[in-house]
Amino acid sequence: MAEIPAIKRRLIQEGVDVIDVGAGDADFPPPEAAVEALSCAARDPAMSRYAFQLGLPAFREAAAAYMLRRFGVRVDPYTQLHPLLGSKEGIAHLAMALLGSGDVAIVPEPGYAVYEGGTVLAGAEPYRCALRPRTGFLLELEELPADVVRRARLVYLNYPNNPTAAVATRAYLEGTVAFCREHDIVIAYDNPYCEITFDDYVAPSIFEIEGAWDVAMEFHSLSKTFCMTGWRLGWAVGRSEVIAALARVKNYVDTGAFLAIQAAGAAVLPQAESLARDYVAGFKERRDAMLPVLRAQGFEPETPEATMYLWVPLPEGVASAAFARRALEEAGVVTLAGSGFGAGGEGFFRIALTVAAPRLVEAAERLGRVLAAV
């Protein structure tokens, strides 16, 4: 994955018409409310000062109001919620707040690379656990060896899931919360795709599950829902002791997100659901345009109920890294190889619905030609 930007640049210089459906970084513009609030706040000198860990009270309060309105979850905006410079930052620093040498964190594979990276940077040990199609890509905690469960302090859970686009049932989440309570394992519930859901599916917060408050931290982001990836803004929710531990780590590495960006977040969140509806309609149109063409080309992807991703199986014996490299070099299509999300992702590649429908159709046709040649 690390080589992709350089290869893409070379191909563009050579005149190749590259279609990039690699990173989860859609080309829709951010909400007008965000742009307005940012430009207005940028003119206020007070917004150029350090944010510190407190940040902008209006952002904390807007995030807490969203949690209550959207999920029925009541949180204190000052002790049970914390602003982040994107959720990635908080996920990585949570490991430093909670883990030490000898501790284990359970890391789903395929999964977002920060789970394993954060664990390793914290000096702890990742235990990789495969997500398989057979179980709907749900992490099976009951299957873990007793010794791993005994040493585990943290488990990363992410539904709607990147990269598989899987969603979790309430029954699954209830079982997982019960298991983690019994074994004293913190759940880092990574929920950046909770608004990108299709048809009738509505994604929950982990805190809708009884008992979750005792064991879970949840991470939210403005990146995906509002197409604000570069703005770097998110928040964490959890018990005040764990939030305080996270804030203590952050205090040594950052001084808070730019206050004007927090002002933009505070302007967006009161309209979160209606803004999300429009973006989701765009993602759905893209999903529905691309899937039939991919299928006509011989691929067999499931129809995702959530996220901006298509997780596409490859024929037996076709290595995902080799396929993704050929797709890029021979067809000018940037995808992500499943193996880039950990060995458990082998046999698949990921498409992100980040460009307009006609370009996705073109990408599907080009990928079909690569498939025919492997």
Residues found near ligand PLP in the complex (CB under 6 A): 24, 86-88, 112, 158, 162, 190, 192, 221, 223, 229, 234
How far is the C-alpha of 280 from the C-alpha of 75, rounded, in Å? 27
- Report in angstroms how near the CB of residue 337 gets to ligand PLP at its nearest: 16
How far is the C-alpha of 326 from the C-alpha of 342, rounded, in Å? 20
* Ramachandran category for residue 331: left, alpha or beta (phi over 0 → left; psi -120 to 50 → alpha): alpha
- Report in angstroms how near the CB of residue 279 gets to ligand PLP at its nearest: 15
SS3 state of residue 326: helix
Closer residue to ligand PLP, CB minimum distance, 62 or 149: 62
Closer residue to ligand PLP, CB minimum distance, 205 or 223: 223
SS3 state of residue 317: coil
Q: What are phi and psi of 197, to 5 degrees?
A: -130, 150
* Ramachandran category for residue 15: left, alpha or beta (phi over 0 → left; psi -120 to 50 → alpha): left
- CB-CB contact of 242 with 217 (8 Å): yes
- Report in angstroms how near the CB of residue 207 gets to ligand PLP at its nearest: 17
How far is the C-alpha of 75 from the C-alpha of 63, rounded, in Å? 9
Closer residue to ligand PLP, CB minimum distance, 105 or 293: 105
- Report in angstroms how near the CB of residue 223 gets to ligand PLP at its nearest: 3
- Report in angstroms how near the CB of residue 287 gets to ligand PLP at its nearest: 17
- Taken as a whole, the chain contains a residue count of 374
Closer residue to ligand PLP, CB minimum distance, 205 or 293: 205
Closer residue to ligand PLP, CB minimum distance, 218 or 346: 218
Closer residue to ligand PLP, CB minimum distance, 88 or 250: 88
How far is the C-alpha of 311 from the C-alpha of 323, rounded, in Å? 14
- CB-CB contact of 105 with 152 (8 Å): yes
- Report in angstroms how near the CB of residue 350 gets to ligand PLP at its nearest: 10
